[in-house]
Amino acid sequence: MRAILTLKISISGVRGVVGDSLTPDLLTRFSQAFGTYVGSGRVVIGRDTRTSGEMVRQAVVSGLLSAGCRIVDAGVCPTPTVQLLVRKFRAAGGIAITASHNPPEWNALKFVGSDALFLSGARGRELLDIYHQGEYSKARSPRIRNVETMPGALDLHIAAVLEALGPLPAGRRRPKVVLDACNGAGSVVGPRLLEALGADVVGINTTPDGRFPRPAEPTPENLKALCAAVRDHRADIGFAQDMDADRLAIVSEAGEPIGEERTLVLAVEHVLRGTPGPVVANLSTTHALEPVARRYGCAVYRTPVGEANVTEGMHRHRAVIGGEGNGGVIYPRINYARDSLVGMGLILHLLADSGKTVSELVTALPALEIVKIQFPFPSQRLGEVFRKARREYADLPMDLRDGVKVMLPDAWFLLRGSNTEPVLRVVAEATSEEAARGLAEKVRDRVTEWLA
């Protein structure tokens, strides 16, 4: 059971506990497999600030160089920066070294294809096949290159956001923003972007040393310091990032967290005002998106959970914006990637254009509340649970593309296994937090009964 709990290998990448299941040998072999997969081409690498990051980076470099790859090292940077650089330099691929929202003892490799999208589906399975077969490309000495460093990676990312969105309107009061970067990859680039947009910035937890001042996931219960700082500085808004700065949570001017789900809803509101078009989100994202999109005559399309699934759906439907309800905003004018920097820019422009406070904007949204709970669960029993759920709720509308999603008259819930952790997730949404939590706990208890 210990190995199951500390290592996760899937088409989403590999992640585990450093010094336990995630070893230098494993990391090197996965990097060799990726170098073989991309054909020994140019590969962009970047990492978050975790204290294990340098060890993991060296293992990755060793594996890629041994496969004959040409490495461009962006250093400490957000995961979406790696994706942006892959596209800009037409690289064969990229590796983001980050365990995102996982606890500090974890680290991971996220694999990016030449299209700057995370590997998934057939491409992810092909990489796994190469890894398991162990037949890797082996470069001879003359073909092993030096590692190229990319010191201007953050500047390129800031420039891309400013080019797409522009600075905030001139002649108005500069908004005051508090940023909590969790001492992660957004610690340096986040304040610089906000200042370039035209905001006054107060930074907390912006020392990029990888020492977690709070749990990395920017959920409301983890944002007490940010809420207090917003109130103390009388700021207009508070932003919180996770360790690799792909997710964004918002705190209102009253010092209240509005919930990660509403990050995407507000970003969609701003984009559709100026550029109506299709919206894509995953199955676990709030249904508040649909009435917002309908207001502008636009459709919302749903995909299985996972950034790769959402970006594939966005390409297919030619979406103008998309994302995930965990605070992941994907704006294709800049990057087909969840990007907290993009999210901050869009939300600040919404505040400026509307002239409203965060609280006023949230009040105008549909009155829906979402609750997410999870618990350790053996992956080999997922199929059994899903079969029982399908039988239990057979009379209700369902979506079976990713676990089991059940639609109730005034609520819904989703039961699915995690792509990144050995846990079972229950997501429920209803017209009040109490009702959503009651529904989620009822489903969890039912699962426990099924397995008894």
Please give the Cα distance from 230 to 350 (Å, whole number).
19
Query: Which of 199-214 are b and which e, b meaning 16 or more Cβ less than 10 Å from the residue's Cβ?
Result: bebbbbbbebebebbb
Q: Tell me the one-letter amino acid at 333.
A: R
Please give the Cα distance from 331 to 202 (Å, whole number).
26
Query: Which of 56-65 are b and which e, b meaning 16 or more Cβ less than 10 Å from the residue's Cβ?
Result: bbebbbebbb
Q: Is 359 annotated in the active site?
A: no
Other residues' Cβ atoms within 10 Å of the Cβ of residue 392: 14
Please give the Cα distance from 428 to 373 (Å, whole number).
9
Termini Cα distance of the chain: 19
Please give the Cα distance from 323 to 319 (Å, whole number).
10
Contacts of 95 (CB under 8 A, 6+ apart): 31, 34, 43, 44, 45, 60, 64, 82, 109, 110, 111, 112
Bridge partner residues of 79 (DSSP): none
Q: Return the closest-CA partner of residue 78 out of 310, 327, 266, 337.
A: 337
> Which residue in 100, 120, 137, 340 is the catalytic one?
100
Q: Which residues are catalytic?
A: 100
